[in-house]
Amino acid sequence: MSNRSIQMVSSPADRPSHHDDEHIVQLYTDDAFLIEVLGRFIGSALAIGESAVVIATAAHTAQLEKRLSASGVGTFKATSQGRYITLEANETLARLMVNGSVDEGRFKRVIGDVLNRAKNATHRNELRIAVFGELVALLWAEGKFEEAIRVEQFWNDLAKDYSFSLVCAYPTTGFDSQRHIEPFLKICGQHSGVMPSESYLGLGSEEDRFRNIAELQQRAEALEKELAGRQREELFRLLVEAVQDYAIFMLDPAGNVSSWNAGAERIKQYSAGEIIGKHFSQFYPEEDVRKGKPYWELIIAQHEGRFEDEGWRIRKDGSRFWANVIITAVKDHSGKLLGFAKVTRDVTLKMQAQQALQNEISERRAAQEQLHKSETSLRELSLHLLRTQDEERRRIGRELHDSLGQYLAVLKMRLDSAASSVKGKHAEAFEEIEQCIRLADDSIKEMRTVSYLLYPPMLEEMGLKSAIPWYLDGFSARSGIKASFTAESAFGRISRDSELALFRVLQESLTNIHRHSESPTSDVRLFVKDGTAVLEVEDQGKGVPQQLLEQGGEDWMGALGVGIRGMNERMRQLGGKLEMIRKKRGTLVRASLPVTPHAPAPE
């Protein structure tokens, strides 16, 4: 190729036919112009399944891959297949140098190995390897003009053994003085064509240059359209042939199968020879065929452009599968119907999974409803038990007070009478009777305490505000814990159930303080806030462990005790709530209930 005349050409991507000895030099001023040309040159080869080798700087390689990606030509797949090979130009040039000069043997061995790999990566009969190299540009930039020409000759010699199309690129800034004229002509003489830069269109008149531009643009547009068409056809063919999960086939206007892909054979079990020419209605169950479903699906697709459906379809062996079907009408530019494209997918597993999910949802909904009913019944039972417990406590308290209390009172009176009769006469008997009198007094006091704790009459007669101080006095006397009480002056009577519920919270809270908190004091507060009656019981002890608060916060279950759990349920039934708050020191129990009018207790 060393004696060729200089021929101006437009772009390597615009050359439709392959030439084994094609060796083109690209001149450029701006990198963007070079990347645009290379994008079309390399991209066209990769798009139609051919191989490409790029020996460029890292910056140009990165810009080229970005340009290819933007035009829809991905390099990842081609790289993994071995069809797209990139070498860093500076590193490659260093491998080829021996004593400051490019070694011909190394050049043929290194570059030849890369071309062999690119050739073996594709099985096309008419292989076109698109090669772009910047080795000569690097040598030229260093002022090694003769060395650059030698490398161009090495490429030409390599073309005798390998079939490739080569583009070498030189920036026009490298030809800015008269000393470059002779080596430039030698460079051009090593190439089969010279591509002008974006600003340089060769020698000749301005009219010739403009005419040349128009011709190049026309050729570029025509060939670009041709390439795009080839790419679309190739991609569609590869898509249809490679798809295994979808049955993709064509129907003629009457509904007869005219093409068949591997996915259709896998899903429907018919080979192309068995099914092409047959009507597609044989894929439908008999009941659908009797209803005319295949025919009106084509009618809908023809009028609306497409039709989509899910339903049962039949395989060759008679088995059924649940299919997602899309039928698209194919028409020419005048609107004439050419046929239908049909895409079918077996979604039986998806349908079964959806049915199983729906069944599971129904079962869970039924279980939740049953659980809700059970919870409602449990709460009603719990409230009934609480009310029964209160009534039973009230009954036992009155029984103790009215029955056992009277007996004990009479017993004490008899003992007092007996003591009077023996006083001064029988000292020993008198002493025994005095002890019995003291035991009777203690029994009466204990009976009254138990009776009032079960159901304090003061709560029913005087209300919560009066019953709390009375209870705190007895609590302090029994436990040794100093208890204080503050009540809002305007706090009046509230409903009987609310007063009893708050009193039970007070009892349970003070019991927990006595048993667990090790607090020397307890503070009780009673007030009304925003229409809500609030009782607070606070201690200064070690507090309830955080773990128990977190467990109890869910439903006041377990370790916090049946008493607290029962009080929480009582609060909830009355429209209030019970809170246990862990403080820096101690615990605060807060019970709140909506204020409801007081009604006298029934006799």
- 3-state SS, one letter per residue, for 283-340: HCCHHHHHCCHHHHHHHHHHHHCEEEEEEEEECCCCCEEEEEEEEEEEECCCCCEEEE
What letter would DSSP give residue 544? -
* Shared-domain flag, residues 29 and 145: yes
Q: If you average pLDDT over each of 220-229, 294-303, 425-434, 439-448, which comes out highest?
A: 294-303
pLDDT at residue 499 is higher than 70: yes
In sequence order, the 6+-apart residues with CB closer than 8 A to the CB of 7 are 192, 193, 194
pLDDT number for residue 6:
41
* Shared-domain flag, residues 442 and 493: no
Domain boundary among 189, 212, 238: 238
pLDDT number for residue 184:
65
Q: Is the pTM of this model over 0.75?
A: no
What confidence tens digit (pLDDT) does each residue in 319-328 have? 999 999 999 9
Task: Judge contact between 255 and 340, C-beta under 8 A.
Answer: yes
* Shared-domain flag, residues 49 and 153: yes
Q: Which of 183-192, 536-545, 568-577 has the lowest mean pLDDT?
A: 183-192
**What's the CATH code of the domain at 206?**
3.40.50
Select the more confidently predicted residue: 236 or 505.
505
What is the percent of the chain with per-residue pLDDT over 70, rounded to a whole number?
Answer: 75
**What's the CATH code of the domain at 318?**
3.30.450.20
Among 199, 144, 187, 167, residue whose Cα is nearest residue 64: 167
Considering the chain, what is the average pLDDT of its residues? 79
Domain boundary among 311, 346, 381: 346
Select the more confidently predicted residue: 13 or 440.
440
Q: Look up the domain containing 194 and give its range.
A: 12-238
What confidence tens digit (pLDDT) does each residue in 284-295 have? 999 999 999 999
pLDDT number for residue 253:
94
pLDDT number for residue 206:
52
**What's the CATH code of the domain at 527?**
3.30.565.10
pLDDT number for residue 326:
93
Task: Judge contact between 155 and 2, C-beta under 8 A.
Answer: no
* Shared-domain flag, residues 430 and 465: no
pLDDT at residue 199 is higher than 50: no
353: in domain? no
pLDDT at residue 228 is higher than 80: no
What confidence tens digit (pLDDT) does each residue in 70-102 have? 888 888 888 988 889 999 999 999 999 999 899
pLDDT at residue 13 is higher than 50: no
> Region 166-178: what's the mean pLDDT?
73
* Shared-domain flag, residues 393 and 514: no
pLDDT at residue 221 is higher than 70: no
pLDDT number for residue 378:
72
* Shared-domain flag, residues 234 and 252: no
pLDDT at residue 316 is higher than 80: yes
pLDDT number for residue 466:
87
pLDDT number for residue 312:
94
Task: Judge contact between 261 and 47, C-beta under 8 A.
Answer: no
6: in domain? no
602: in domain? no
Domain total for the chain? 4
Chain-centre distance for alpha carbon 312: 33
* Shared-domain flag, residues 398 and 479: no
pLDDT number for residue 7:
47
Domain boundary among 411, 440, 455: 455
603: in domain? no
Select the more confidently predicted residue: 382 or 308.
308
Provide the pLDDT confidence category of residue 2 given band limits of 50, 70 and 90: very low
pLDDT number for residue 213:
45
* Shared-domain flag, residues 172 and 53: yes
* Shared-domain flag, residues 229 and 262: no
Q: Which of 97-106, 118-127, 278-287, 531-540 has the lowest mean pLDDT?
A: 118-127
pLDDT number for residue 533:
92
pLDDT number for residue 201:
40
pLDDT at residue 58 is higher than 90: yes
Q: How far apart are the first and last CA of the chain?
A: 125
pLDDT number for residue 202:
43
Among 591, 450, 590, 588, residue whose Cα is nearest residue 519: 588
pLDDT number for residue 84:
92
pLDDT at residue 311 is higher than 50: yes
For residue 310, the cross-strand partners are 324
* Shared-domain flag, residues 214 and 227: yes
The whole-angstrom separation of Cα 42 and Cα 67 is 10
18: in domain? yes
522: in domain? yes
User: Residue with structure tokens 């009459």?
Assistant: 457
pLDDT number for residue 572:
83
Write out the two tokens for 522.
């307890």
Task: Judge contact between 41 and 9, C-beta under 8 A.
Answer: no
Burial category of 588 from C-beta neighbours within 10 Å (exposed 0-12, middle 13-18, buried 19 and up):
middle
Identify the three-state secondary structure at position 449: helix
What is the percent of the chain with per-residue pLDDT over 90, rounded to a whole number?
Answer: 25
pLDDT number for residue 94:
92
Provide the pLDDT confidence category of residue 483 given band limits of 50, 70 and 90: very high
Among 483, 436, 492, residue whose Cα is nearest residue 462: 492
* Shared-domain flag, residues 320 and 417: no
352: in domain? no
380: in domain? yes
pLDDT at residue 181 is higher than 80: no
* Shared-domain flag, residues 314 and 368: no
pLDDT number for residue 450:
73
